[in-house]
Chain A
Amino acid sequence: MATMPASASDLLKSFKLKTKQQELLIRVSILCLVYILAFITRLFSVLRYESMIHEFDPYFNYRTTLYLTENGFYDFWNWFDYESWYPLGRIVGGTLYPGLMVTAVLIYRILRFLRFAVHIREVCVLTAPFFASNTTLVAYFFGKEIWDSGAGLVAAILIAICPGYISRSVAGSYDNEGVAIFALLFTFYVFVKAVNTGSLAWSLVSAFGYFYMVSAWGGYVFIINLIPLYVLVFYFLDWVKHMLSDTKLFQAFLRITVTCAVAVGGIALGLGMVSGYISPWTGRFYSLLDPTYAKDHIPIIASVSEHQPTAWSSFMFDFHILLFLFPAGLYFCFKRLSDATIFIVMYGLTSMYFAGVMVRLILVATPAVCLISAIAVSATVKNLTVLLRSKNKVVQTGSTKRSGGSQSSSKALLDQSQPFQKNGAIALLFGAFYLLSRYATHCTWVTSEAYSSPSIVLAARGAHGNRVIFDDYREAYFWLRQNTPQDAKVMSWWDYGYQITAMGNRTVIVDNNTWNNTHIATVGRAMSSYEDEAIEIIRSLDVDYVLVVFGGVTGYSSDDINKFLWMVRIGGGVFPVIKEPDYLVNGEYRVDKGAAPKMLNCLMYKLCYYRFGEMMTEYGKPPGYDRARGVEIGNKDVKLEHLEEAFTTSNWIVRIYRVKPPNNRCEI
């Protein structure tokens, strides 16, 4: 019996690892857990609804990926799509970013090779969470490069659940950003590694990382502008350092060189822009420098909700505690300025500026904010635990750690003057852990409530608290697929173009690519004119079916009536015959009895409210009560002359109309 405890203690002794190995075990297990966490926190919508592609843009990416798997890379690269932008077609091969599709197909081929019988849709849906997990790993190594491995771990944890990143990388959000943020962070990490080690091999890897980024997303412009800016700032700081301790000759030389270089550069740039050699920036990027530019000049860019300037509530929603940890991290970075920290500070500041200009770019700022906040958290926690530990060491009056000799003695002096230092440190640590736990709760709540909706399937709470699902979009697209001729052309607002081609498999007039403003303005003009004028435009475009989205029965507020003013603005931007004030009453947009007569008789109104006047939508309200606008509609007696109703979904969300052939000419 005496041998039993001896063998047990032997067993325990065999598990006892050296400190370095313990540390390694802790780090690896934390990283594994973070990897899994980043993946599963993005799976809410797959669990609640089903594994499907969300929103609008991912449907185009999915369709092109399908084409790539079926037809191979050469056909994909040279693909001319005649099913969208009806009379014009679209050169798909030359106008998309192939990185995402190629990556998904590569993963699909590897899985198929290993005999996993997956469908390409599953791979597409889960590509973004997979790359989010990889991003956490890259964030760990990046943090380790900038500060130390503790900061790396905290950075990985923060970025795994940060809502700013989750918003564009949930399962089902098969969009360029899911892959591009991984490429961005990877390129930056390898670049900083190249700067730190000075080897050309790492810079070659960063060149390949940048190539992957360019193939994946239009945001590569950020990298190619940030890196030269960083080099400039770096050299400027170096020069300042030099200037403070050198001979007059060297100073004179430097001054002359720099002035000449700046002058020549400025003159060349000025000449280039004046003579037209260097073309000005395109609209979307120009609005980053001048946020009011798009609103005045290009209504299409201004109408996209993601391109609006950011409100503080969005920042708080997407970053939570990182918002005030960011300045704290900046302070720590400035205290210990090195090549890498200069870079991350520049990345953070420039990306925060752009995040303030456009909501969508919060995504680009997220890695920088997570890294800098991680530095703050890690440095604070480290200082506090050092306080705790050194107090213990002094109490034990025993061996001192490596550099703890002088530290513990100084702490001993301090301890006698501030007896509550240890308690203060414990309190602060508890405060820090409380904040981090609140962050985790907030992020999970935000992911579950706000960022996991597929947008194509809507959910609401019924009268008894049960969940009601509206699957009207897919119902309408599948009706189109099964009940219309193969070469039918569908006219709708550009939001739905990608979904109609991907799920309905029919030709559309305009879609989300929005490359041709005049074509979109033509559709907008048709929607805002009286039926007689509109039918001319509709017949000239060879349209067979018109599709509108209507939220009056369900209270769905992102329908075409709410988007109608944008149709008017965009149409009016190209065709001055459409004037916005015609549709407003005293500057107010109304659909009830007091609405403008042009509004009550335009095509969009008629198509949305056809037969709606007889409909009882809410108990106690008159028939024809529009639940999305909260008013009773003005014109209940809608008669259509050139169109007939083809299909309305079960909750009236999508309505499809067929264009009637022209009447027979009457004989005399």
Chain B
Amino acid sequence: MARTSSSKENAQALFHSLRSAYAATPVNLKIIDLYVGFAVFTALIQVLSLIFRNPFSLPHFYYLEDPQVVYMASVGSFPFNSFLSGVLSCVGTAVLAVCLRIQVNKENKEFKDLPPERAFADFVLCNLVLHLVIMNFLG
């Protein structure tokens, strides 16, 4: 009994310390965190929608029973490009936002003399190139 309660207390202590530490972060970092969360959430939705897509809810076309077509419809080699580009653009912009957060955070000693405007400009430029590539890959 003492063991489980101590581990539960441990978990609660962990949770509380994390929460209080997070509440103390400045607002701009929280905005970036929100953006990262949104991007990851979008990526997750796309991945789940690919896995749990139900082919039998489509109207009954006979050619769909052709094994070749069924295979292509379930893996989707043509829409696969779009799926990949959707997921990768979300993940890519999340990664770039994490980089921005690291560079803008005043508590990081390594990036002390990097002006936050420069960090933001880098972020915007990299996002531009990323989305240019994604647009090309969309097919």
Contacts and interface: CB of A to CB of B under 8 A. Distances in A.
- Main secondary structure, interface of A, reads helix
Given A249-B14, A277-B75, A198 B110 contact: yes
B99 A200 contact: yes
Nearest to B17: A249
A207 B132 CA distance: 13
A201 B75 contact: no
A651 B103 CA distance: 71
A409 interface: no
Interface residues of B, number: 14
Interface in B122-138: 122-123, 125-126, 129
B14 A201 contact: no
Contacts of B122: 199-201, 204
B96 interface: yes
A129 to B, nearest CB: 32
B75 A200 contact: no
Contacts of A207: 129
A200 B14 contact: no
A234 to B, nearest CB: 15
B38 interface: no
Interface in B61-119: 75, 96, 99, 103, 110-111, 114, 119
Contacts of B125: 200-201, 204
Contacts of A200: 96, 99, 103, 119, 122-123, 125-126
A204 B132 CA distance: 13
Interface string A139-171: 000000000000000000000000000000000
B129 A198 contact: no
Interface residues of A, number: 10
Nearest to B51: A277
B126 A203 contact: yes
Contacts of A201: 122, 125
Contacts, number: 25
A480 to B, nearest CB: 41
Contacts of B119: 200
B103 A198 contact: yes
Among A199, A207, A249, A277: residue with most chain B CB under 10 A: A199
A269 B133 CA distance: 27
Interface in B31-77: 75
Contacts of A198: 103, 110-111, 114
Contacts of A204: 122, 125-126, 129
Nearest to A276: B75
Contacts of B114: 198-199
A207 B114 CA distance: 22
Interface in A186-231: 198-201, 203-204, 207
Interface in A27-47: none
A198 B75 CA distance: 39
A277 B51 CA distance: 11
B55 to A, nearest CB: 16
A197 to B, nearest CB: 10
A622 B125 CA distance: 77
Interface in A250-289: 253, 277
Contacts of A253: 14
Contacts of A203: 126
B13 to A, nearest CB: 8
A54 to B, nearest CB: 35
A254 to B, nearest CB: 13
Nearest to B99: A200
B16 to A, nearest CB: 12
Nearest to A204: B126
A229 to B, nearest CB: 18
Contacts of A277: 75
A207 B129 CA distance: 10
Contacts of B129: 204, 207
A229 B6 CA distance: 39
A203 B125 CA distance: 11
Contacts of A199: 114, 122
A198 B114 CA distance: 10
Nearest to A277: B75
A457 B111 CA distance: 60
Nearest to B129: A204
B96 to A, nearest CB: 7
A498 B68 CA distance: 36
A79 B133 CA distance: 24
A249 B99 CA distance: 26
A201 B103 CA distance: 13
A199 B129 CA distance: 16
Interface string B2-29: 0000000000001000000000000000
A249 to B, nearest CB: 7
Interface string A578-600: 00000000000000000000000
Contacts of B75: 277
10 contacts: A198-B103, A199-B114, A200-B96, A200-B103, A200-B119, A200-B122, A200-B125, A204-B122, A204-B125, A253-B14
Given A198-B114, A200-B103, 16 more contacts: A198-B103, A198-B111, A199-B114, A199-B122, A200-B96, A200-B99, A200-B119, A200-B122, A200-B125, A200-B126, A201-B125, A204-B122, A204-B129, A249-B14, A253-B14, A277-B75
Interface of B: 14, 75, 96, 99, 103, 110-111, 114, 119, 122-123, 125-126, 129
8 smallest beta-carbon distances between A and B, as pairs: A200-B122, A200-B126, A201-B122, A204-B126, A200-B99, A204-B129, A198-B110, A204-B125
